[in-house]
Structure 1
Amino acid sequence: MKFSAESQDFDKQLKRRVTKEPIIWFFTPKVFDDKNFTGKFNDSNFNLSSNTYFSSLKAIRIKGIYKRKSENLYSIEYDVELSKGTKIFYFLGIFSFVFVMNFMIYKQRQTFEIFPNCIFLFFNVFILFVFSLSKRNIKKNFEKEFELKNIV
């Protein structure tokens, strides 16, 4: 879902509040400084994540574009989403786990069991719920940190 907002001196805020992301962020998830966000940006685009100890939260990205409307006012369009690599990893992991689990159960009992699949489905729905809460929290932190005024 795309969001639109306005901000004063957004380019200066990016330079002041975003630290450069390490090359291999999964193994070095926290950059130790006062900045709450890490990532890359240029004169019109940005791709940020939370500067946190938890590498799973670094997979939630804030991507967007910004352009100058007037001297100090910027128009910003951004989206908060999971990175492509994380989506692929979770899809392949879930698919592989369900396939292997069902194959092992079928090999032993010669029938498919519903209960383990329901537990696994509940677990995945819970993970999606936690990610949606995390996305909402990161979005709020981004809006607060960069003083964004949402456009309806």
Structure 2
Amino acid sequence: MTQRPPLPPFDETSARAKVQAAEDAWNSRDPGRVALAYTEDCVWRNRDEFLTGRAAIREFLQRKWEKERDYRLRKELWSWSGNRISVCFRYEWHDAGGRWWRSYGNEQWEFAPDGLMRRREASINDVPITEAERELTPPA
């Protein structure tokens, strides 16, 4: 059985490490890499989309990053208990027309004993911004 440390139950240190690992993976914009953090039968709600399974998650992320160009994300630990973590996040991206957006959201995560995420619930809102208003730039 493959494990994805840190493993539940989480304390503050391990919850923060899990959140940072997720942020780092998502900022890679690599659907294959990101999808490996989820169980084969993971259940997702992302905005108004409902997904089941790692393959569906990978396909979703492929579509997402084709639309959300130059994506850059920050996640913040909100709370944790047992095998669950809640985060708030913001990310910035631009569309094909060059318009910039900042997306704000909250996620609830539930993990299997092996440290893979088995459930993700995400609520997200988008706000148009100008390029000059960007706060999240890639590291130099």
Please report the TM-score for the alignment, with normalisation by the length of structure 2.
0.30
Task: Please state which structure has a larger fraction of its residues in helix.
Answer: 1
TM-score, normalization: structure 1?
0.28
Bigger Rg over Cα: 1
